[in-house]
Structure 1
Amino acid sequence: MKILITSDWYAPTINGVVTSVLNLRQGLMARGHEVRVLTLSQTPYSWCEDGVTYIGAVSAGMIYPGARLRTAPGRELLAELAAWRPDIIHSQCEFSTFLLARKLSAATGAPIVHTYHTVYEDYTHYFSPSRRWGQAAVAAFSRWVISQTACVIAPTAKVRELLERYQVERPVHVIPTGIDLMRFSAPADAAAQAELRRSLEIPSENFVMVYVGRLAEEKNIDELVRHMAALQRDRITLLLVGDGPYRAALERQVQTLGLERQVIFAGMVPPDRILQYYRLGDVFVSASNSETQGLTYIEALAAGVPALCRRDPCLSGVIVDGVNGWQFQDGAGFRTGVARLLADPNLREEMACRAAELARREFSAETFARRMEAVYAQVLERGHSGAVA
């Protein structure tokens, strides 16, 4: 098949959408498909390189941190993609590149499959003074987007239930995003890990709770900091890996609580080093309820790190209580999980093994590509484009 993936986000940006697109492209190409990507440029200029078409764009950070909006028409490049005649267009975002996906679908007859990556209800504080109005707007907008497609991919049952509540009128397929397991199963380099720990000034005897992701309000990291304070233990470190618009507020909270020596802000980390940071953790922690799937959870498990995360429908079948971690509902549950791991190092090692095993079985890029390929074949057999001219 010829498959065109469209996304407002692409490398070098680091987020869940980009991870999904990169792994899907890699997996599909390994299965013999011809895959191209249409995305937004980090500059106002458009070009094509290595099967990726970049359309000129400008920052829209006032609307949402890191967002970009298309400014260049890119007519010649879009004409080249239309002449290539993709069999399937797989859109990953609902804004600039989705409009381009619609145009290319109308020009070629290729059906659009859409992945719904973001629970926009949890982001209404970026664009609406009223949460209720924001939720209604998100539901209406989501229905409109999905009405232009042949079907929609939900990374988890949580997203499927959300779309059903929105009353979307297209088939919904639940397909978890896969990850490149080779990146997270490499043997650990003890010397390099020890040096990284020293560079971050983490005492060798400390128990480390690691969070990886954007430092944004909707990620609820301030709750992790409060739980950290409630532990009242000196030999525990909370390592926050990533950056974002909420960092300054979190730094003020840490200072107010007197946790400067126990909470470490590592900042952004290159993708080729992220495994080292996961493996500094004795446990991966998160208090977010805004995830559609939470790829960092799966990456942590694949790296052999048990997880302690706020209970959420997206974690069904991912974090199994007492097997590869725990899902907590409140501060008491968080403290209980930490206490169990501190009291029994053997339990932590057993959970680490089971964490890696589940990730290998359920969340490989190969499994991801195979499941998506089956949906494409079904859509083409049905012959429904869902495109609107």
Structure 2
Amino acid sequence: MRPSPYQDAEPARPLRVLLTTDWWEPVVNGVVASVQTLRRELLALGCDVRVLTLSQGIRTRSEQGVYRIGSVSASMVYDRARIGMPASRRVLREILRWRPDVVHSQCEFSTHVWARRIARTLAVPLVHTYHTIYEDYTHYYSPSRSVGRKVVETFSRRVLAGTDAVVVPTAKVQRILTGYGVRSPVHIVPTGLDLERFRPAASEAEHEDVRALRRGLGISPEQRVIVSVSRLAKEKNLEEVLDMVAAADRADTVLVLVGDGPYRPELEAHARALGIADRVRFAGVADPAEVQRWYRIGELFVSASLSETQGLTFIEALACGLPLLCRRDPSLASVVVEGRTGWQYEDAEQFSAHLSTLLDGPRRREEMATAAREHAQATCGAQDFGRHVLEVYRQSLRRRPARIISRPVVTA
């Protein structure tokens, strides 16, 4: 049996975990949702969890276990992005006095620098979750995709070289990192979901809410609704979604795009050029606490994005009973079970055929809606997510040399 990494220790205490992330509320994206879910589940497992993130201004502050470092806008590089300022010594001293047992970084930029420094100072494991396939974002920083990919490869390899373990949501991302030459242990842990919140409408009040949202968008009871929940950015490939809807040429369908972003004017113009502006609704940003309401107005979820590491919105849609109709991509193999929870399409002909199957066969759609919910419940629960990440911490701690501290309890 491997000896405990905590020798001659003081009495047991909860495992202390510091989560670091450049993205946090009020921003709405997949990273924020994933980190918030992980924090909640680790707390439920008995861990002592704090978060180090960026403030929305230059002032550094702390609140309820969250340290916010002063930052300045970097929106010229990426919408709503921020760069951390030289960090507060008070915050750093407070974190070092608290002495986390594991530092879990969620972003590769400002807060990752802090994560490395804290982990190195305390000689504790540094775990990192790789959320973003940066080579799909080369249009933001390089005119050449091949040059951009080389930059991403070198950058990712260097960032991850100092980690004890890397967490990725899918085998697709694991293969990419292996191709980059990353040597740290890579663990596949799909992001979990709060299945008590993401579910179909159940009560009469929830059904009335669905009807009210549809009325607010000018959608009649007879019209069929296709939903997309996404940031309106170029890498999300929403122009293709508009192309597919136009090619399907179904006057009875309305596409609802939930979200906002810098590419909205181009998408609005593209819808007009395709002659489908009257069948597209731009709903704007949804409150993160209420996004499940928007899934419930639809009959299926659509996406053409190829930039997803896992696609949390796909899982949310499944949990709300929406079959998926998505552009073929290896990252979706675990969520799109062909003909059961949805389909992956490769061209307009396939898109139209699958759309007709779902909309023209109510019994088939109901069967797929049930299968979608069951699949989400079986594979994407938040509790499993928390337990699997905790096991990554356990393994990283076992690989570390013995050190004399008060012994943390790593609960199951």
Residues 225 and 255, structure 2, Cα contact 8 Å, conserved in 1: yes
What residue is the counterpart of 1:99 in the other structure? 113
Q: 1:187 Cα deviation (Å)?
A: 2.3
What residue is the counterpart of 2:90 in the other structure? 76
Note the alpha carbon deviations across 1:127-178, whole angstroms, 9 max, x for none: 1111111100000000001101001111100000000110111111000010
| TM-score normalised by L of structure 2 | 0.92
- Whether 1:135 aligns to 2:149 is yes
Residues 223 and 253, structure 2, Cα contact 8 Å, conserved in 1: yes
Cα distance in 2 for residues equivalent to 1:374 and 1:187? 35
Q: In structure 2, which of residues 384, 388, 392 is the aligned counterpart of residue 375 of structure 1?
A: 392
- Report the residue type matching 1:7 in the other structure: T
- Whether 1:87 aligns to 2:104 is no
Over alpha carbons, which structure has the higher Rg? 2
- Report the residue type matching 2:87 in the other structure: P
Q: 1:272 Cα deviation (Å)?
A: 2.5
Q: CA RMSD in A?
A: 1.1
What residue is the counterpart of 1:191 in the other structure? 208
Residues 156 and 292, structure 1, Cα contact 8 Å, conserved in 2: yes
Cα distance in 2 for residues equivalent to 1:337 and 1:79? 57
Cα distance in 2 for residues equivalent to 1:195 and 1:240? 17
- Whether 1:345 aligns to 2:382 is no
- Report the residue type matching 1:194 in the other structure: R
What residue is the counterpart of 1:160 in the other structure? 174
- 1:170-319 correspondence runs (5 A): 170-185=184-199, 187-188=202-203, 189-319=206-336
Unmatched 5+ stretches in structure 2: 1-14, 403-412
Note the alpha carbon deviations across 1:50-105, whole angstroms, 9 max, x for none: 10000000110111111100114211111100111100000000000000001101
Residues 46 and 72, structure 1, Cα contact 8 Å, conserved in 2: no
- Report the residue type matching 1:30 in the other structure: A
Residues 220 and 287, structure 1, Cα contact 8 Å, conserved in 2: yes
Residues 322 and 369, structure 2, Cα contact 8 Å, conserved in 1: yes
Runs of 4+ in structure 1 off by over 6 angstroms are none
Residues 248 and 348, structure 2, Cα contact 8 Å, conserved in 1: no
Residues 150 and 384, structure 1, Cα contact 8 Å, conserved in 2: no
Note the alpha carbon deviations across 1:4-24, whole angstroms, 9 max, x for none: 000000111110000000000
Note the alpha carbon deviations across 1:342-383, whole angstroms, 9 max, x for none: 221111111111111111111111000000011100100111
Cα distance in 2 for residues equivalent to 1:99 and 1:91? 9
- Report the residue type matching 2:366 in the other structure: E
Once the two structures are aligned, what percentage of the paired residues are identical?
50
What residue is the counterpart of 2:405 in the other structure? none
- Report the residue type matching 1:374 in the other structure: E
Note the alpha carbon deviations across 1:214-234, whole angstroms, 9 max, x for none: 011110000010111111221
- Report the residue type matching 1:11 in the other structure: E
Residues 283 and 308, structure 1, Cα contact 8 Å, conserved in 2: yes
Q: 1:273 Cα deviation (Å)?
A: 2.1
Note the alpha carbon deviations across 1:101-128, whole angstroms, 9 max, x for none: 0110121111100000000000010011
Cα distance in 2 for residues equivalent to 1:122 and 1:302? 27
Unmatched 5+ stretches in structure 1: none
Residues 124 and 400, structure 2, Cα contact 8 Å, conserved in 1: no
Bigger relative contact order (CA 8 A; separation at least 6): 2
- Whether 1:33 aligns to 2:47 is yes
Cα distance in 1 for residues equivalent to 2:283 and 2:127? 37
Residues 55 and 69, structure 2, Cα contact 8 Å, conserved in 1: yes
Residues 147 and 168, structure 1, Cα contact 8 Å, conserved in 2: yes
Cα distance in 1 for residues equivalent to 2:294 and 2:398? 45
- Report the residue type matching 1:36 in the other structure: R
Cα distance in 1 for residues equivalent to 2:60 and 2:211? 44
- Report the residue type matching 1:325 in the other structure: G
Query: What is the total number of aligned residue pairs between the two structures?
Result: 385
